[in-house]
A and B are shown apart, each in its own frame.
Chain A
Amino acid sequence: MSLQPFQLEIRDLAVRRGPRVLFERLGFSLSDGEILHLQGANGAGKTSLLETLAGLRRPASGQVLGLPEERGLHWLGHRNALNLSLSVLENLEFWCGLNGASAQACQPALERVGIWKLRHRLVRTLSAGQKRRAALARLLAQRRPLWLLDEPLDGLDRQGLELFAQLLGEHAASGGGAIVTSHQPLPAGLSGVRNLVLSP
């Protein structure tokens, strides 16, 4: 199944946090198949930019054009959105149910991120890296063209980083796009990666 094509365009965007202007007059574009690596010092506004693009935060001014329509984007924040008292599978089935996806999509997604064997474990018993993999499985259980990933490499070990690079590469190759914030370089071997540095 091919992903919905999109052409994201950001024009003169300004975002505030309280009285403080994080950035203004920001402009860039992103097409399907592209990956944007968003960098910047702490407090530069990387997370706030992603939150604005996701629709969690209103921009102070400027325009966000060309976001993929319904079922268009996945958001992976600092926090994994996993309830600690539920198992990995129960968490994923919940998100599938909420987003109108089939629960059958859970197994291939968990197999792909290598934690199918842990599916009945309560999330509270998992390591940080395993939780991050479970959060990544949510991106795979329901395919959406645009991924907004905030520090997705947190907690991942070397195999996890390789897996993430593969997933991101496959997503871009199938016509998806991603904006990724990370303080560390993205894993090697990814093509079509552009860099954008936000300055406070």
Chain B
Amino acid sequence: MSAVLAILTRELRLALRSRMDWLLPLLFFVMVVLLFGLGARPNDPVLAGFAPSILWVGALLSMLLTLDRLFRADYEDGTLEQLCLAEAPLGLTVAAKLAAHWLLTGLPLVLLAAPLAVALQLPAAGLPALVWGLALGTPVLSFVGGFAAALTVALPRAGLLLPLLVLPLLAPVLIFGAGAVRAALGGLDAAAPLYFLAAVLVLCLTLVPWAAAAALRNAFE
């Protein structure tokens, strides 16, 4: 547990020192969503229909902005070598880093989603499904994105490759996340898509840290 605490403390401390690193993706999210609203006709009811997709795609893209830095700084300053050789299992270390990434980028998106959804005129009936969906889906974005970041950490221009790797993998999360909101708006039960997201999250929590750890070790080969 001391290793997990050490990682979380370090990541939160670094976030406090470099506030723009996690504030910029949030601002990006807010701007993308509001620009959609500004681009639509005033009081256009169609906008509410697109709101779930706009919010989910906005969240996905803003988290994507942060992925390239997830392991790169540690790779470049030699920290990653030490993490591979540390007493704490690398999978646990990776899990702690991904958890910190979600706390700093995913959780604020979840908290911002409801007010932004209101700005897009999403009916109140869709808000719980939206927030629950993002609460289950954004950790998946962190974990799947983290795996892709680990795969590309040693590549010189990974920033271009990352979206191509991550976006197809996250398509089901987007479909079920936005689908849950649409189901709630249509008066249907949103539980099924949310359960699917929960299942994907459990799968990611279980497998991704160890797969990402193997990818990081491979970066030194």
Size bracket, chain B contacts: 20 to 34
What residues of B have a CB within 8 angstroms of the CB of A57 in the complex? 220-221
Taking the complex as formed, is B84 at the interface, i.e. its CB lies under 8 A from any CB of chain A?
yes
B 44-86 to A, binary, CB cutoff 8 A, 1 in contact else 0: 0000000000000000000000000000010011110111111
Asked whether, in the complex, the Cβ of B6 is within 8 Å of the Cβ of A94, the reply is yes
Say which one of A5-13, A38-46, A74-82, A156-164 lies at the interface with B: A74-82
Q: Does B105 lie at the interface of the complex (its beta carbon under 8 Å from any beta carbon of A)?
A: no
Q: Is the interface of A mostly helix, strand, loop or mixed?
A: loop
A78 to B5, CA, bound (A): 27
Cross-chain contact A99 with B87 (CB below 8 angstroms): yes
User: Closest approach, in angstroms, between the C-beta of A136 and any C-beta of chain B?
Assistant: 14
Cα–Cα distance between A96 and B87 once the two chains are bound (Å) = 10
A95: Cβ under 8 A from any B Cβ? yes
Would you call B17 an interface residue if the criterion is a C-beta within 8 Å of the partner chain's C-beta atoms?
A: yes
Chain A residues, CB < 8 A from B41: none
The answer to whether B7 has its CB under 8 Å from any CB of chain A is yes
Contact B77 A83 (CB under 8 A): yes
The answer to whether B87 touches A81, judged by C-beta atoms less than 8 angstroms apart, is: no
Residues of A within 8 A of B93 (CB): 98
**In whole angstroms, how far apart are the Cα atoms of A97 and B54 in the complex?**
42
Select the residue from A55, A86, A97 with max chain B CB neighbours within 10 A. Answer: A97
Report whether A100 and B3 are in contact in the complex, using a CB–CB cutoff of 8 Å: yes
**What would 12 A/B residue contacts be, using CB atoms closer than 8 Å?**
A51-B220, A54-B81, A71-B87, A75-B81, A75-B85, A77-B81, A85-B17, A85-B18, A93-B6, A94-B10, A95-B86, A99-B87
